[in-house]
Amino acid sequence: MPASSLRVGLSIAVFLVLSAFLAPCRTSHLRAQEVTYEVPGFERWMEQVQRLQQLHQPGAFSDCTLWDPWLPRATLGYQATAADRYQASLLARRIDSQGYVSMQQHRGMAHSEGWPFPGWQQSTGKGWHFSLHGDIWAIQNFRSQPENSWDSWEIQGAQVVGIDPAEGLVLQATADRIVITTPKIGCGTIVAPFARLEMSHPELPAGSEGRIQWRMKEEAEWSDTRHVAFQVAPTNGSHRYYNIPLYLHPEYGGLLERWRIDLPAVVGAQWVLKSVCTAIDTRHPITNTNYLIACSDLLEWTGRIDFLRENIDRMRTALRFAIEEFSVEREGMVLVPWVGHDGRSGLDRTEGKSKIRPGLGVGNNYWDLLPFGGRDALASMMMVAALERMARLEKEIAAHPQWGIPTPQSSRDAGALENLANRCRETFQKRFWSDQTGRLIGWEDLQGQRYDYGFTFLNLEAVARGLTTPDQAQSIFDWIDGRRLVEGDTSQGEDIYHWRFGPRATTKRNVDVYCWAWSDPGSIPWGGQVQDGGAVLGFSYFDWLARIRTSGPDNAWAKMQQTLEWFEEVQSAGGYRIYYKDRTRGTLQGGGTAGGLGLDEEFLESALVPTILIDGFLGWEPRLGGALFQPRLPKGWPSLKVRNLHFHGTSIDLEAKQDGSLRIEAPLDHPDWTIQTTQGESLWKSGDPVWEIGQPSR
């Protein structure tokens, strides 16, 4: 979660839900059908895992695409209601006409389908809001006030009815076109790549178009060649956003003077203009891939072919957009082409002091204050994950013509997607590796500068997702575990795990490279921000998963025990908020307050932590037709049993023993499943309540 006090994060309603679970809880009163864990002789530690689950699982849901790679996988096996909830959410997720998947965080003051900030108020931009109804974030953060006059506007083809405080400026059409000229704007086009309109209007003939013209500073005339047209869609009487991409026009550049908005109309009908503003392009290049990962998780945990039939066209559209928009086939990676996303910092410290550069350093992912972008390692990592998921899905579709789902064009079939994923993985290993520091960089800007602040979150997730070579994985863990020191790093050796529950998010102090809206990072001490030496609990999951897959389960369990010891101590003290009242222990971010540690409140990904027992040690990976069951138990564990796991519409119990024997129990009416182990595949037929195999001791 984003590392800034500039945004509240989630709705107040979600915060209230979360607050009910912030106090310590006891597993002596397990909730009905709760997922439980049993490791003989390790009851103390399983108790702590259970408490983490009870603390973080109930509130782990969001319609925001940012959390899609984490929350569905963290909840679908745990909550009976999660499947229906996420199916509804993913089917309702907005995808625009080009194929971009909306972020859907909360109302902001930038691109309506992107991240809420930086807003025009932070960007030397300009905006007019005739109504601020529903814009709580803007009112709280900028003390915004609605417009109370239209005197400085030029309006032709309509009479002004007045300003409705809840709706906006009400216009009654007197002609078949309404032409609205804004007051002076006076900002550079770099902070106004989009014109954002919010308005409602009458039903219009199909294909009706509006358009926006612009004049630059000291120009007296409007040029008819300088305009961008846009389709006017039905609003059904409700307000609708229009984000018009002016930056795509070759003559859009310079210092803006005014816009002229030309709208279709029906004589006598009303248009209502709620707001007009310049908009930073706050879209993130990871939303499409995040969405595809979430859809894949839903499908593989539930086996819902009806969801696949209903959503496959949208999923293919989302993938096509991501591949084409970010030149993935040409580059073998994600190259972000958007204004403000070229990877350069929004701060200029060449003279020793921070000088802001509005329009540069726009966020690209969860770490919303860091530029990333350009040639983006994190976005490229998520692209590989999405390509692999879609390849697996297309292979299933091709193998099951009885589903009645058309196969894609050959350039997007399973083989083509697998090949592209492999090529992107190879490019990732070469382009984003630093021989100097022996780890992955975060990104390379479009001028060729590379950025490496010791991004542990990126390095560990890349290892966990299989994007690094074995030698690279070893080098990464040698650095993170302190077996080698990286010259210039602020945190080295044991200090990398200073916060105990997980590694610092970064190991090198960063006061130079941020979005311009975060203008004075040096005023906050090292470790006082999650993206600058702080840490996020939920991403310990990738630390342990990466260790299981490279260094082995004993190494992962030793590191996980350190987290559980910390958690036990924190809960004994009364919970996160009480424990960290002693600020010498660290500062918490959450609920609008900046800090160095992301544990609760909007840090919903903390729900990932207990799932390591299933995804990692138990080696359970759902598939549409069954699952992979390939445990890797620490040597000291006699067995691991998980009860009441939700899978494909039923509840199952899983058990793996140190001698290699495996057992699954399910109700008689479970579907037919193919279970793949290290020994091969076996078919578990419906009507048989038990599946089990014995394997030689390892």
Q: What is the pLDDT of residue 276?
A: 98
* Chain position carrying tokens 């990976």: 621
Closest CA to 447 of 370, 348, 342: 342
Nearest to 450 by CA among 459, 458, 440, 438: 440
Burial of 651 (0-12, 13-18, 19+ CB in 10 A): middle
Long-range interactions of 140-149: CB distance < 8 A, separation 24+: 140/8, 141/6, 141/7, 142/109
How far is Cα 496 from Cα 482, in angstroms, rounded to an integer?
Answer: 8
Number of H helices, E strands in the chain: 16, 29
pTM: 0.94
Angstrom distance (rounded) from CA 312 to CA 303: 14
In the beta sheet, which residues pair with residue 171? 160, 271
Cα–Cα dist 486/490, whole Å: 9
Residues 6+ apart with CB under 8 A from 548: 556, 612, 616, 617, 632
The burial of 221, by beta-carbon neighbours within 10 Å (0-12 exposed, 13-18 middle, 19 or more buried), is given as exposed
DSSP letter string, 25-86: --GGGPPTT--EEE-TT-HHHHHHHHHHHHHHSTT---S-GGGTTTHHHHHTTT-TTHHHHH
Q: Which residue stretches of 353-455 are H helix?
A: 377-399, 414-431
Query: What confidence tens digit (pLDDT) does each residue in 11-48 have?
Result: 323 322 223 333 333 333 334 589 999 999 999 999 99
- State phi, psi for 406 to the nearest 5 degrees: -60, 145
The confidence score (pLDDT) of residue 648 equals 97
Bridge partners, residue 376, by sequence: 443
Residues 6+ apart with CB under 8 A from 658: 633, 635, 637, 638, 639, 697, 698
Nearby residues of 643 by Cβ (< 8 Å), 6 or more positions away: 35, 36, 38, 653
Single-letter residue type at 370:
L
Q: Are 605 and 70 in contact (CB under 8 A)?
A: yes
Q: Tens of pLDDT along 304-313?
A: 999 999 999 9
Contact between residue 432 and residue 340 where contact means Cβ atoms under 8 Å apart: no
Q: How far apart, in Å, do the first and last CA atoms of the chain sit?
A: 40
- DSSP-derived 3-state class of residue 463: helix
Distance CA 533, CA 526 (A): 6
Q: Are strands 662-665 and 439-440 parallel, antiparallel or unpaired?
A: unpaired
Residue 228: how many other CB atoms lie within 10 Å: 18
- The torsion region of residue 149 among left (phi > 0), alpha (psi -120 to 50) and beta comes to beta
Cα separation, 8 vs 375, whole angstroms: 29
Q: Which residues contact 229 (CB under 8 A, 6 or more apart)?
A: 209, 210, 211
pLDDT in tens, 521-577: 999 999 999 999 999 999 999 999 999 999 999 999 999 999 999 999 999 999 999
Token code pair at residue 626: 């069954």
> Which among 289, 318, 329, 531 is positioned nearest to 422, based on CA atoms?
329
Establish how many alpha carbons lie within 13 A of residue 481's alpha carbon, considering only the half-sphere containing its beta carbon.
16
CA distance 391 to 319: 11
Q: Quick one: pLDDT at residue 31?
A: 43
Query: Which residue shows structure tokens 């945004």?
Result: 7
Alpha carbon separation from 259 to 37, 184, 222, 249, 448 (Å, rounded)? 62, 8, 10, 14, 35
Q: How far apart are CA 244 and CA 458, in angstroms?
A: 33
How does DSSP assign 238-265, residue by residue?
A: S-EEEEEEGGGSTT--SBEEEEEEEEE-
Buried b (16+ CB within 10 A) or exposed e, 27-54: beeeeeebbbbebeebeebbbbbbbbbb
List the domains of the chain with CATH numbers: 12-104+284-614 (1.50.10.10), 120-279 (2.60.120.260), 618-693 (2.60.420.10)
Query: Contact 370/514 with Cβ under 8 angstroms?
Result: yes
Q: 118 preceded by cis ω (within 30°)?
A: yes
Q: How is 426-440 classified by DSSP, letter by letter?
A: HHHHHHTEETTTTEE
CA distance 90 to 98: 18
* Spans of the chain, pLDDT less than 50: 3-31, 696-698
Output the six-digit token pair for 625: 């037709």
Which tokens is 618 given? 């138990």
* 270 CB-side CA count, 13 A: 18
Residue 591: predicted pLDDT? 80
- 682, 688 contact by CB (below 8 A): no
What value does the CA radius of gyration of the chain take, rounded to a whole number of Å? 26
pLDDT of residue 695: 55
